[in-house]
Structure formats: structure tokens, C-alpha cells
Structure 1
């Protein structure tokens, strides 16, 4: 189930994005990016609709994923 990111408090959204960025372990190529930059990138993707917040009933957790990969 998609959770509208606008329904979260700013603090909850920030914590969720930070947690996501820190666990991803994504390689950003030759240029190292700061946590602040990574969080801003994910926030921008949520705002543009490229990424969505997804609640998993099975795992009782929230994840961030590309909209194209989400299947209900």
C-alpha cells in the first residue's frame, strides 16, 4: 500500500529517508555524496512521484521504492 509522503510529519519523513539512505549502500560512482545530498535526492524523488513510500503488511515496515517497481 502506498503511503502519501505528505501525511508524515517533517521529522518522521526525514528520519525515514535517512534510515533508507543509510541501509541502501548505494554506490554513487566516483564522487562521494554526503548524507544531506542523498536525503535531498530521495526527497526530490518522492516529491516528483518517481519514488513512493510503501507499507508492507507482511513485514510491518515502510520502504521507499521507485514507482515503477511497486506492485499492489
Structure 2
């Protein structure tokens, strides 16, 4: 089920984003980006609805999914 990312506290959203970033791998081209820049990039994608926040009631977990 999709949930508005604005419904999470700042700390909770940051935790979901950090977990998402850690699963995305480390290929950032010729340049490495710090964690804060990666978090800002994910926030921009959330605001642009390029990715959405979902909640799975069965596993009681949140996830970020890329919109196709």
C-alpha cells in the first residue's frame, strides 16, 4: 500500500531512505557522493514521485519503489 512520505517523522523517513540507499549498490559513475547528498537526491525523487513509499502490512515494513 502506498503511503505519503510526509506522514513519517523525519527520523523514520531518513532511516527508510538510508536503508534504500544501502541496497542500491555503489555505482555512482566517476564521482562518489556522501550520504547527505544521496539522501537529498532520494528526497527529490520522492517529491517528484519518481519513487514512492510503500508499507507492507504482512511484514510491517516500509520500502521505497521506483515508479515505472
Q: Structure 2 length as normaliser, TM-score?
A: 0.84
- CA RMSD after TM alignment: 1.5
Unaligned runs of 5+ in 1: none
- Runs ≥4 in structure 1, deviation > 2 angstroms? 56-61
How far off its partner does 1:35 sit?
A: 0.8
Partner residue in 1 for 2:15: 15
Larger RCO (CA under 8 A, 6+ residues apart): 2
Q: Structure 1 length as normaliser, TM-score?
A: 0.80
Local SS of the residue matching 2:63: strand
Partner residue in 1 for 2:31: 31
Unaligned runs of 5+ in 2: none
